[in-house]
Structure formats: C-alpha cells, structure tokens
Amino acid sequence: MLDFLYFAHGYEKYEDGDNEGKYISLGFGYLKDLAIIDMDLRYMLAQLSFDIEHYTKIELLRLAEDLGEDGYAICEDFINSQTEDQRNRLMNEINRNENSVYCGDLFSRYPENFPLWVFLELIPFGRLVSFYGFCAIRFKDKKMKNKYFMLKTCKDIRNAAAHSSCIINDLKVDTAQYDTSYEVLHKLARIKSVSKNVREKKMSNARVQQIVTLLYVYEKIVTSKGVQEKAVERLRKFEERMMRNIEYYQDNDMIRTNFEFLKLVIDNWHLNV
C-alpha cells in the first residue's frame, strides 16, 4: 500500500471547493497500475545495466590488450591515483570478496596485487565506472571520456533499480542536475515526431534522462546480437505493459506524455517499428 502512495505525487490536487486537498483524477486502480509499471521498469533496467556492466569489462580488457598495457600495473596505478579516503573505500569493496562463494577463490589467489581481469571481477559497478574514466584519460581516448560521463548517468538509474527505488513517481520537469550528453540529444533529434521543445522538456527530468541515456549506452556498448535480441524482447514487453492502460492517464499530461515519449524512444532506437 505504501508503494502505491508514492505514485500519487504524479497528480495535482484540488486547490479549493468541496474536493480541496484531494488528488485530481486519481483512483486506486491507477496507483496499482503505476506500481506494476514501475516494478517492470526496474527489472528491465537492472537487466540492461547488467549487460552494460559485462560489456564494459570486455571493452576495457580488449583495449588494455590492444594498447599493450601491463594488467597489474594499470590496476596499481588506478589504486595509487585515488585519495586516501577513496583508496580505503576501494579496498573495503575488494576485501568484501574474501569470503564470497563466487569470488573468494580469486581474492585468495591474488591477495595483494591484482591483474586487470581479476580486478574487474572484484569491484562493484560504481567503481568500474570510475576505473573506466581513469582509463579514458590514460588512453587519451575522447570517445571513452564521453562514454564515461554517460556511464555515470547509467550508474544512477542502475542503483535505483537495484535498490527497488520508485522511478516514475516523479516525472516533473527541471529535476536533472546535469546536461544531457550531446550524443544522446543528437540521436533523439533524429526522431522526427519529437520536437526540440518536447525533447528538452522531457530530458530535463532526471529519471527520464537517466533511462534514455541507459538505452542509448546499451546500443553503443552491447555488441552480441543474441544479447541484443533478448533486450529487445524485454523492452517490447515493458512497452506493452506501460501502454496497456494509457487511457487511465488521459487527464494527467505529465504521466501520459512521458510514457508516450519513452515509447517513441524505445520504438525508434530498439524496436524499429
């Protein structure tokens, strides 16, 4: 019940009259529908972010090999580049693997110095993104630097999904703390049915900005056709659920238009319909 109430924030209230203080055009069924959509969205985003994490590791391993990097030295240099507090947090993250059923054997084999492929298995996604930024500077790769900032945005929505935080309970404009990546905006501009005004308004919401950025990064970083096809299936199922009861929101422009915007992005970027 409490989760349902979070989604009431997407509705305005009557300011006067007999219904003063009550939500406009809001029924319990609408809240239930939004809660289900939000849950499906979190599951879908979590799975997509797992794929992004995996292929980010593959990209780093490939680049390090192509550039002749010493797999031990690059990890040591990253650790030494951190402040004392950052280094302590990093080592705490790594040390948590000591008794892990899944990574404990790796940890025990490399108690002090880690080769790159082991290091990538021992660090969480947030630290992986930081390491990616370090490598972008080390490799003097402008494309990597741009992708690093987008990965930071992906991290935010990934963490929200992983911790079961409500996502679509706040779709108001002007909540984004950072500008949207030029690459993302450029690709959005190619969707002919989305005007510049609509594009800017929707991407000024932090949650929509993060979702759309993750969808863009997914296409850029995940290279396996089979994995992509599974993602398309997940996106199609989510879109169908999101739009199933769109008539519920005919009197709520904020929810309806954001759903329609996300549908256009998914259709044009992933479903090609």
125-141 pLDDT, tens digit each = 999 999 999 999 999 99
Look at residue 2 and tell me whether its pLDDT is greater than 50. no
204-266-164-173 Cα dihedral, nearest 10 degrees: 20
Higher-pLDDT residue of 272 and 267 is 267
Q: Phi-psi region for residue 181, left (φ > 0), alpha (ψ -120 to 50) or beta?
A: beta
**Separation CA 24–CA 14 (nearest Å):** 6
Q: How confident is the model at residue 212 (pLDDT cuts 50, 70, 90)?
A: very high
The reply to whether 53 and 182 lie within a common domain is yes
The reply to whether 25 and 158 lie within a common domain is yes
**Separation CA 198–CA 154 (nearest Å):** 22
The reply to whether 89 and 178 lie within a common domain is no
The reply to whether 55 and 82 lie within a common domain is no
Report CA-CA distances (Å) from 172 to 33, 113, 211: 19, 47, 15
Look at residue 273 and tell me whether its pLDDT is greater than 80. no
Which of 24-33, 99-108, 139-148 bottoms out in mean pLDDT, i.e. has the lowest? Answer: 24-33
Q: How many domains does the chain have?
A: 2
Round to the nearest angstrom and report the end-to-end CA distance of the chain: 37
Look at residue 10 and tell me whether its pLDDT is greater than 60. no
Look at residue 12 and tell me whether its pLDDT is greater than 80. no
Question: Residue 202 in contact with residue 263, Cβ under 8 Å?
Answer: no
Assigned domain for 111 exists: yes
In degrees rounded to 5, what are phi and psi of residue 78?
-65, -45
The reply to whether 164 and 47 lie within a common domain is yes
Give the range of the structural domain holding residue 241, as residue numbers without chain letter: 2-67+150-271
* Residue among 231, 233, 211 at smallest CA distance from 223: 231
The reply to whether 90 and 221 lie within a common domain is no
Angle at 69 between CA 63 and CA 75, to 5 degrees: 95
Assigned domain for 59 exists: yes
% of the chain exceeding 90 in pLDDT = 71
* Residue among 184, 189, 207 at smallest CA distance from 254: 207
The reply to whether 34 and 156 lie within a common domain is yes
72-104 pLDDT, tens digit each = 999 999 999 999 999 999 989 888 887 888 887
The reply to whether 34 and 50 lie within a common domain is yes
The reply to whether 124 and 182 lie within a common domain is no
Assigned domain for 145 exists: no
Q: How confident is the model at residue 15 (pLDDT cuts 50, 70, 90)?
A: low
Mean pLDDT of 22-45: 79
Give residue 132's pLDDT: 98
**Separation CA 195–CA 193 (nearest Å):** 6
228-258 pLDDT, tens digit each = 999 999 999 999 999 999 998 888 888 899 9
Higher-pLDDT residue of 118 and 20 is 118
Give residue 96's pLDDT: 86
Domain boundary among the residues 82, 114, 138 is at 138
The reply to whether 206 and 130 lie within a common domain is no
Question: Residue 178 in contact with residue 204, Cβ under 8 Å?
Answer: no
Question: Residue 45 in contact with residue 157, Cβ under 8 Å?
Answer: yes
Assigned domain for 172 exists: yes
* Residue among 247, 243, 237, 245 at smallest CA distance from 262: 243
Q: How confident is the model at residue 14 (pLDDT cuts 50, 70, 90)?
A: very low
Domain boundary among the residues 138, 171, 192 is at 138
The reply to whether 155 and 172 lie within a common domain is yes
Mean pLDDT of 194-221: 96
pTM of the model: 0.88
Assigned domain for 143 exists: no
Q: What is the DSSP secondary structure assignment for residue 271, as one 8-state letter?
A: I
Look at residue 1 and tell me whether its pLDDT is greater than 50. no
Assigned domain for 116 exists: yes
Amino acid in position 272 = N
Assigned domain for 144 exists: no
Place of tokens 């006067």: 16
The reply to whether 193 and 131 lie within a common domain is no
